[in-house]
Amino acid sequence: MDKPIVSVIIPAYNCSQYIEKAIDSVLSQEIPLEVIVIDDCSTDNLIHVINKYMELEYFTFLINENNIGVAATRNRGVEIAKGHYIAYLDADDWWKQGKLIKQIKVLETKKYALCYTGRDLVKEDGTYVGKIIHFKEVVNYEELLHHNCISCSSVVLPIAIAKEFPMCNDEFHEDYINWLKILKKYGQAYGIQEALIVYRLSKNGKSRNRLKSAKMTYGVYRVMQISFIKSFLLLCSHLVHGLKKYNIS
């Protein structure tokens, strides 16, 4: 295989029932890549599921000595990555074919800090919801404050930017904080208006518990050193968008 263009980082924790689909969707991408799976001290049979991939070229499997959370786990992957670009994928989501090629084309021809895509929603059992989430094609820092339209499993960005902005604050929406910091410095992100990822709506996910998500989003604004009043107004906007986004029957 050619040297990886993209390093795909998959943090894993008790996800043995899902992760094969995620990894297989990465391997189907027609672009030189490496896969980095990092187990954050799972207690299920994840290692047995991963075994069949161990002999693949540019496949790395690591186990954290302690449970360090998803942000630090992703950062560990970035530190050892060999590609020019970083792509994130949660272990319970998966990609559609052609995703990475389309995103790399955007990043190599346009001046954007990162590229994200639309998503198909599925229920926890993998049943498609049939709901399309609309978003702006180009988003800047101020616009992103009102609504996080960037799904972590859809993001591709240059490795230099990923290293410059390691993820933090697992107690809040760590990925949202990251996108805000990046856009505050670098300007804009580009969204491909096509559902190139499949996003699983977990009942225990951060975004599905609305009260918990609201508290975490407010925490994001405080991390970004936004005033109390503006944080409250932004949270109201965020909640309205969230109700529309996840209003699934």
Neighbour tally for 227: CB within 10 Å: 11
pTM to 2 decimal places: 0.93
**Under the phi-then-psi rule, with left for phi > 0, alpha for psi from -120 to 50, and beta for the rest, what region is 14?**
left
φ and ψ of 110, to 5 deg: -125, 155
What would the two tokens of residue 226 be? 């936004």
One digit per residue, the tens of pLDDT, for the chain of length 249 reads: 688 999 999 999 999 999 999 999 999 999 999 999 999 999 999 999 999 999 999 999 999 999 999 999 999 999 999 999 999 999 999 999 999 999 999 999 998 999 999 999 999 999 999 877 778 899 999 999 999 999 999 999 999 999 999 999 999 999 999 999 999 999 999 999 999 999 999 766 555 567 888 999 999 999 999 999 999 999 998 888 766 665 554
- Could you give the domains of the chain? 6-245 (3.90.550.10)
Written as one string, the DSSP assignment of 95-115 is E-TTHHHHHHHHHHHS--SEE
For 91, which DSSP code? T
Q: SS3 sequence, 202-218?
A: CCCCCCCCHHHHHHHHH
Rounded to whole angstroms, the Cα distance separating 175 from 164 reads 14
Backbone CA torsion sign across 191, 197, 202, 206: negative
